[in-house]
Amino acid sequence: MRILLTGSKGQLGTCLKERFPEEWEIIACDSQTLDITDTQNVFNMVKKFDPDVIINAAAYTKVDAAETNIDQAFAVNATGTLNLAIAARAIGARFIHVSTEQVFDGKVRMPLNENMAPNPLNVYGQSKLAGEILALNAHVDTTIVRTSWVYSEHGHNFVKVMLKKGLETPNMRVVKDQIGCPTYAGDLAEAIIRLLKLKYSPRGLLHFAGNQQMSWADFAQQIFSLAAEKNERYRQVNVESICTADYQCAAKRPVYGILDNSTLQNLIEEQIVFTPLSNIIDKLLT
Ligand SMILES: NC(=O)c1ccc[n+]([C@@H]2O[C@H](COP(=O)([O-])OP(=O)(O)OC[C@H]3O[C@@H](n4cnc5c(N)ncnc54)[C@H](OP(=O)(O)O)[C@@H]3O)[C@@H](O)[C@H]2O)c1
């Protein structure tokens, strides 16, 4: 199988590169080698490499900055996604795209399945929803995997921020009234690879997230408890649970973002064995 991967230096892109089967041919493009907003370059690259599958791991992921950088968020998450979907259609390739639980408003407090109506609260969610709709309309052989709260040993994420700030300040104020499922990018990569190994290509929307639901404050607490086993200094960190209303940030976020994984889990032959958070903390602190 020949795969063209975009956003190859992001969290998911890096985890995919580390996990692709050796026999697959991978053309890994980062934002320098392939800017997905550059329509002509996207078409040239796709035509040149003629992949069987295009995986889009590129995205504008700065949720708060998107509130003011609206054009950039839409250029990458909507137009860039459309460029890739049209290019995939032109050469008869599958298109695998990744989206977010932030397309939902969080008002329905039950695990969110693929049939539930989206209603994003912020620009990032709106731009990702636009990308979903454009891709699904442009190319029938599109699979979109929505995920949530992605972390890994690579790139920028909540776990790395907590580990850094925990050594700088003894009191961490973290919100307790937003609930989601932290997702290890390696597990998400594994789920995507298993979808690619199926004999047919499931089309449309699928949900995949980690298997433990928690608030950001709970997540921070778990991070510091595990980190304290590696470095005594983390024992002194106090997590102060606060309400969203008491935490200033530009973008509104859904208070509930638990994705129901069951459709994807039923499709793949082997169930995903979720990676414990402790493995990632170990990697980051060793
Ligand atoms: N992170 C989360 O918590 C989260 C939650 C739910 C869903 N998701 C979705 O999961 C997917 C993977 O997220 P991630 O956490 O791996 O993201 P990430 O670490 O921020 O990586 C995104 C990558 O996209 C690249 N990129 C940005 N603009 C680009 C452009 N115009 N052309 C090509 N590449 C571009 C970035 O490169 P530069 O760094 O060089 O700009 C970066 O390497 C995304 O679709 C995201 O929306 C993420």
Give tens-digit pLDDT for 43-100.
Answer: 999 999 999 999 999 999 999 999 999 999 999 999 999 999 999 999 999 999 999 9
Tell me what pLDDT residue 7 has: 98
Tell me what pLDDT residue 77 has: 98
Residue 87 burial (CB count, 10 A):
24
Homologous superfamily of 2-157+182-211+258-267 in CATH? NAD(P)-binding Rossmann-like Domain (3.40.50.720)
Does the reported pTM lie above 0.85? yes
Going by alpha carbons, the residue nearest to atom 18 of ligand 1 is 10
If pLDDT is split at 50, 70 and 90, which confidence band does 270 have?
confident
Going by alpha carbons, the residue nearest to atom 24 of ligand 1 is 58
Beta partners for residue 202, in sequence order:
none
- Centroid of ligand 1 to alpha carbon of 7 (angstroms): 6
Q: Write out pLDDT tens, residues 226-268.
A: 999 999 999 999 999 999 988 889 999 999 999 999 999 999 9
Cβ 153 vs Cβ 283: under 8 Å: yes
Catalytic residues: 124
In the predicted structure, residue 269 carries a pLDDT above the cut 80 = no
Instruction: Report how far apart, in Å, the C-alpha atoms of 236 and of each of 167, 221, 225, 227, 228 are.
Output: 9, 12, 10, 11, 9
Q: What does the domain layout of the chain look like in residue ranges?
A: 2-157+182-211+258-267
Beta partners for residue 171, in sequence order:
238
- Centroid of ligand 1 to alpha carbon of 235 (angstroms): 32
Ligand 1 pocket mutation, candidates 8, 9, 14, 31, criterion most atoms within 8 A of CB: 31
Ligand 1 pocket mutation, candidates 36, 46, 61, criterion most atoms within 8 A of CB: 61
- Report residue 94: phi and psi, to 5°: -75, 150
The pocket around ligand 1, CB under 6 angstroms, is made up of 6-7, 9-13, 31, 34-37, 57-61, 76, 80, 98, 100, 128, 147-150, 155, 185
Cβ 106 vs Cβ 49: under 8 Å: no
